Structure 1
Amino acid sequence: MFVPCGDADTDLSGFTLLMPAVSVGNVGQLATDLIISTLNMCKIGYFYTDCLVPMVGNNPYATAEENAAELSTNAEVYSLRSKKLVVLQLRSVFIKYKSVSFCEKLLGWVRSSGCARVIVLSSSHSYQRNDKQLCGTPFRYLLTPSMPKTVQNKMNSLNWKEMERSPCIPEIEDSDLCVRVPGGGITKLLYDESCSRDIQMAVLLKFVSEGDNIPDALGLVEYLNEWLQIIKPRLQGDDTTASPLPWKIPSSWRLLFGSGLPPALF
Structure 2
Amino acid sequence: MSIDIRPFERVVEHKTTDIEGSTLIIPSISIGNVPQLAIDLLIHTYNFVKIGNLDSIYLYPFSSPIDTAPDPEIVERTKGVSSALEVYYNDKLKVSIIQQRSPILPSFTSTYINEVIIPFLAGGKFSEVLILDSSDAGLLEDFQPGKIQVYTNEDLLNNSLGSLNILKKDAIQLSSKYPYDHSVYAGLLIKALDELNLKSESSIDLNVLVAYVYEGDNFQDGEILANKVNSILDLEQITSWIKPLSWLGAYGDKPVPNAMEEGLFG
Normalising by the residue count of structure 2, what TM-score does the alignment of the two structures yield? 0.75
Map of 2:11 onto structure 1: 2
CA contact (8 A) 1:60 1:250 kept: yes
In 2, the alpha carbon distance for the partners of 1:211 and 1:135 equals 16
In 2, the alpha carbon distance for the partners of 1:146 and 1:123 equals 18
Map of 1:240 onto structure 2: none
Distance 1:228 1:209, change over 3 A: same
Q: Which moved more, 1:24-33 or 1:108-117?
A: 108-117
Q: Does 1:13 align with 2:20?
A: yes
Secondary structure of 2:35 counterpart? helix
Among candidates 251, 254, 258, match of residue 248 of structure 2? 254
In 1, the alpha carbon distance for the partners of 2:41 and 2:144 equals 28
Among candidates 30, 34, 48, match of residue 37 of structure 2? 30
Aligned-partner residue type, residue 114 of structure 1: K
Q: Does 1:110 align with 2:142?
A: no
Map of 2:134 onto structure 1: 123
In 2, the alpha carbon distance for the partners of 1:122 and 1:71 equals 26
Map of 1:263 onto structure 2: 258
Map of 2:216 onto structure 1: 211
Shift of 1:205: 1.3
CA contact (8 A) 2:146 2:224 kept: no
Among candidates 99, 107, 110, match of residue 109 of structure 2? 99
CA RMSD of superposed structures (Å): 3.2
In 2, the alpha carbon distance for the partners of 1:35 and 1:55 equals 21
In 2, the alpha carbon distance for the partners of 1:110 and 1:167 equals 22
Secondary structure of 1:140 counterpart? strand
Aligned-partner residue type, residue 263 of structure 1: N
Map of 1:138 onto structure 2: 147
Shift of 1:229: 2.6
Distance 1:206 1:232, change over 3 A: closer
Map of 1:76 onto structure 2: 86
Q: Residues 196-250 of structure 1, C-alpha deviation per residue, up to 9 Å, x if partnerless?
A: 33242211111101100011111111111112132245xxxxxxxxxxx331111
In 2, the alpha carbon distance for the partners of 1:146 and 1:9 equals 35
Normalising by the residue count of structure 1, what TM-score does the alignment of the two structures yield? 0.75
CA contact (8 A) 1:181 1:188 kept: no
Shift of 1:143: 2.6
Alignment of 1:182-261 (within 5 A): 182-184=181-183, 186-198=185-197, 199-232=204-237, 245-257=239-251, 261=256
Q: Residues 36-80 of structure 1, C-alpha deviation per residue, up to 9 Å, x if partnerless?
A: 000111110001131111110011115434245421010011111
Shift of 1:81: 1.0
Distance 1:94 1:114, change over 3 A: same
In 1, the alpha carbon distance for the partners of 2:194 and 2:118 equals 11
In 2, the alpha carbon distance for the partners of 1:18 and 1:87 equals 5
Aligned-partner residue type, residue 185 of structure 2: I
In 2, the alpha carbon distance for the partners of 1:101 and 1:143 equals 26
Q: Does 1:85 align with 2:130?
A: no
Alignment of 1:55-70 (within 5 A): 55-62=62-69, 63=71, 64-70=74-80
Could you list the runs of 5+ residues in structure 1 that have no partner in the other structure? 149-161, 171-176, 234-244
Q: Does 1:47 align with 2:41?
A: no
Shift of 1:146: 10
Distance 1:146 1:44, change over 3 A: farther
CA contact (8 A) 1:145 1:195 kept: no
Map of 1:159 onto structure 2: none
In 2, the alpha carbon distance for the partners of 1:49 and 1:168 equals 28
In 2, the alpha carbon distance for the partners of 1:214 and 1:185 equals 24
